[in-house]
């Protein structure tokens, strides 16, 4: 498999940044943790990872801008290209010693998401995709699941954290989904949820109130694995609305209809 220079840059940055992350995970109890708000933790590990990612990506593409979970928007000289970065997606898991977290890096070009890397360092699972070139887990090509029936499908979702909006609407959505699908999982990392849809491990995923850095890379993964990802209206305003529904071509529309019915 010949990988593009762009993906090599993104994957190299993720691997480098993961070193400190894995070290810090090993001594989680010693981390200096500060609270940004209820259930929204920022750790020194998070900041270290973001710094390394920024350095590595900047070294390779000096003019590109950034949108980062901690650092926010950093304009570049090149207004067409922007990295969208989550240094640790699954921060709550990380801080609780639950090994489901990842580094997520996407590239947006002219407003379109064109490449994504989601790296789960503990399992050494490197999910990567570039527009038109397919999605992969390490060297293996990915394909979304082929399940056709909602009642056979397993979905991932995100439950709004304490102190965030959206508890009531989420409970309505959950109520409808529970009656229609085989099972629902809350893994705690939206980027990995999307990577799991791309890998066919989950048949679908939905969440509201999600940030661009949580989903940007995963969106590319699902699309390149043959799946569909939209906002709740079936449109492409995912990063603006923070609403996301992903699934294969049999399940995506039925999932959208279920969400609509939850709010009718």
CA distance 82 to 72: 12
Phi, psi at 33, each rounded to 5°:
-110, 130
Q: Does position 204 bind ligand IPD by CB under 6 A?
A: no
Among 65, 116, 121, 158, binds ligand IPD (CB under 6 A): 158
47 CB contacts (<8 Å, ≥6 apart)?
Answer: 70, 87
Q: What is the CA radius of gyration of the chain?
A: 17
Q: Does position 43 bind ligand IPD by CB under 6 A?
A: no
Return the range that interacts with ligand IPD (CB under 6 A); candidates 84-92, 112-120, 165-173, 252-260.
84-92
CA distance 198 to 144: 5
What DSSP character marks residue 65? E
Site string for ligand IPD, 205-244 (x = CB under 6 A): --x--x---x------------------------------
Phi, psi at 197, each rounded to 5°:
-65, -45
Return the range that interacts with ligand IPD (CB under 6 A); candidates 73-81, 139-147, 165-173, 184-192.
184-192
Among 65, 90, 116, 218, binds ligand IPD (CB under 6 A): 90
Q: Does position 89 bind ligand IPD by CB under 6 A?
A: yes
Q: Which is nearer to ligand IPD, 33 or 133 (CB)?
A: 33
Active-site amino acid positions:
69, 86, 88-89, 91, 214
Tokens 């989601």 correspond to what residue? 118
CB of 190 to ligand IPD, least distance (A): 3
CA distance 249 to 35: 40
Return the range that interacts with ligand IPD (CB under 6 A); candidates 9-17, 75-83, 187-195, 252-260.
187-195
Cα 130 to the center of its chain, rounded Å: 15
The answer to the question of whether 165 is labelled as a binding residue is: no
Q: Does position 173 bind ligand IPD by CB under 6 A?
A: no
- How many degrees, rounded to 5, is the angle at CA 13 between CA 244 and CA 81? 60
Count residues binding ligand IPD (CB under 6 A).
Answer: 13
The answer to the question of whether 214 is labelled as a binding residue is: yes
Q: Which residues of 110-142 are buried (b: 16+ CB within 10 A; e: fewer)?
A: eeebbbbbbbbbeeeebbbbbeebebbbeeeeb
Q: Does position 91 bind ligand IPD by CB under 6 A?
A: yes
Task: Measure Cα distances from 246 to 36, 96, 223, 226, 255 in Å.
Answer: 29, 27, 9, 11, 8
Q: Does position 50 bind ligand IPD by CB under 6 A?
A: no
What DSSP character marks residue 150? G
CB of 223 to ligand IPD, least distance (A): 19
The answer to the question of whether 86 is labelled as a binding residue is: yes
The answer to the question of whether 46 is labelled as a binding residue is: no
The answer to the question of whether 88 is labelled as a binding residue is: yes
Q: Does position 189 bind ligand IPD by CB under 6 A?
A: yes
Residues annotated within a binding site: 69, 86, 88-89, 214
User: What residues make contact with ligand IPD under the rule CB under 6 A?
Assistant: 69, 86, 89-92, 158, 188-190, 207, 210, 214
């Amino acid at each position: 498999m010949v990988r593009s220079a762009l993906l090599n840059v993104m994957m190299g940055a993720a691997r480098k940044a993961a070193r400190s992350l894995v070290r810090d995970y090993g001594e989680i109890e010693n981390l200096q943790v500060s609270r940004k708000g209820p259930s929204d933790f920022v750790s020194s590990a998070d900041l270290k990872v973001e710094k390394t990612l920024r350095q590595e990506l900047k070294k390779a593409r000096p003019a590109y801008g950034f949108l980062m979970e901690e650092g926010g928007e950093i304009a570049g000289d090149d207004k067409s290209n922007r990295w969208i970065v989550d240094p640790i997606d699954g921060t709550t898991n990380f801080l609780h010693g639950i090994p489901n977290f990842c580094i997520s890096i996407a590239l947006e070009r002219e407003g379109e998401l064109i490449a994504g890397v989601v790296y789960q360092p503990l399992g050494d699972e490197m999910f990567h995709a570039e527009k038109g070139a397919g999605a992969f887990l390490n060297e293996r090509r990915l394909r979304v699941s082929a399940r056709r029936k909602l009642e056979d499908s397993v979905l991932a979702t995100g439950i709004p954290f304490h102190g965030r909006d959206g508890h009531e609407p989420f409970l309505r959505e959950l109520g409808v989904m529970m009656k229609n699908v085989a099972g629902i999982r809350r893994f705690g990392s939206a980027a990995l949820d999307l990577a799991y849809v791309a890998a066919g491990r989950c048949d679908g995923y939905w969440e509201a109130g999600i940030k661009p850095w949580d989903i940007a890379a995963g969106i590319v993964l699902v699309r390149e694995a043959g799946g569909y990802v939209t906002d709740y209206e079936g449109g492409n305003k995912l990063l603006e609305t923070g609403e996301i529904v992903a699934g294969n071509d049999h399940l995506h529309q039925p999932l959208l209809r279920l969400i609509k019915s939850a709010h009718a």
